[in-house]
Structure 1
Amino acid sequence: MQNQTTFQFISEPGDVNYGGNVHGGSVMKWIDQAGYACASSWSSSYCVTVYVGGIRFISPIKIGHIVKVEAEVIYTGRTSMHIAINVFSRNIKRRDFEKKTHCIIVFVAVDDEGEPVEVPKFTPQTEREKQMEQYAKKLMALRTNIEDEMKPFL
């Protein structure tokens, strides 16, 4: 079972914002699409986004650049999957990609009635995968604190 998905494409003029770069909303759409492809491939189920956390826009993506979106399962619960997303881009005349955006998305696998279903357990094998799993667990604890703070305003 593969825990990674990669998309590559060229950013288009329709993705432009008023500043002449790729619109943040376009990047968020790509993040959700790659995350969904990764989560649904892992779970063999339809999945819904339940949390997108800490989107960090590091630097802008230029129109006409090659964009690479990498999605990776880094932790699974009973019905949920934490997917790390990294977005890179490069000028078509260059070889090296630069990291542009990072975030974590949590998806839940659901059945035809929208009820959560169990997902295969992800067991980290490499040291990097083990570190990423710990990162996901740390973010879960932080998210619980944030959710508690937000409750009065929901």
Structure 2
Amino acid sequence: MNKTYKHASESEVTLSQLMLPSHSNFNGKIHGGFILSVLDQIAFACASKHSENYCVTASVDRVDFLNPVEVGELLTLKSSVNYVGRTSMVVGVRVESENIQTGHKKHCNSSYFTMVAKNQDGEATEVPGLILKTENDIRRFIKNIKRRELRQQHDKTFNDFQLDLENHLQLLKNHNAKVELDKH
């Protein structure tokens, strides 16, 4: 089987949706859970388009809500495949909101979804490689290699974590916690 390659532009998906009162929380801002749901949908569409297979979300790397989204604003999500492995892809999604009366735009969120392609039997299946045409394509791909390396270091640190009560109690003195150990 010959290996296929695609450029990220072949799989890009853009979605715009007007934010309605039914999407808001008790504070009148658009509910973060609603935005997360739309993020997952667009990551699915982008990954499925690239892989030409059904895809599932394996992980989400950081979701920072930078600016609130207001009722009546136009929410626009832009997605692209930034990195591919053998069966997985990292889809970057940028979220902006726009006041449709003034045209003022805000960057609200950037998130990275790791998606895995599945075949008809539900097994992970190989995905096309990624053609890197620009410095920005290369930057995005390398950033994801670095993000993956950092995640592996993080996982190792916390999988191997051992509590050293004496030293860690000292560490807690600089944080907003009060220790009241039971004397059993």
2:33 to 15, 18, 25: 25
**What is residue 70 of structure 2 aligned with on the other side?**
62
TM-score, normalised to structure 2, is: 0.79
> What RMSD, in angstroms, separates the aligned Cα atoms of the two structures?
1.5
- How far off is 1:103 after superposition? 1.0
TM-score, normalised to structure 1, is: 0.93
Aligned 1:1-150 pairs, distance under 5 A? 2-150=10-158
Aligned residue for 2:131, secondary structure, equals coil
- How far off is 1:95 after superposition? 2.5
- How far off is 1:9 after superposition? 1.0
Q: Give 5+ residue unaligned stretches, structure 1.
A: none
Give, as a single letter, the amino acid of the residue that structure 1 aligns with 2:50: W
Give, as a single letter, the amino acid of the residue that structure 1 aligns with 2:140: M
Aligned residue for 2:61, secondary structure, equals strand
- How far off is 1:150 after superposition? 4.3
For residues 12 and 105 of structure 2, what CA distance do their matches in structure 1 show? 18
Give, as a single letter, the amino acid of the residue that structure 1 aligns with 2:107: K
Give, as a single letter, the amino acid of the residue that structure 1 aligns with 2:76: K
For residues 113 and 56 of structure 1, what CA distance do their matches in structure 2 show? 35
Identity %: 30
Higher alpha-carbon Rg: 2
For the structure 1 residues 152 and 19, does the alpha-carbon distance in structure 2 shift closer, same or farther, using more than 3 Å as the test? Answer: farther
Cα pair 2:16 2:77 within 8 Å, conserved: yes
- How far off is 1:151 after superposition? 3.5
Q: Give 5+ residue unaligned stretches, structure 2.
A: 1-5, 162-184
Cα pair 2:67 2:106 within 8 Å, conserved: no
The alignment of Structure 1 onto Structure 2 pairs a total of residues equal to 153
Give, as a single letter, the amino acid of the residue that structure 2 aligns with 1:30: V
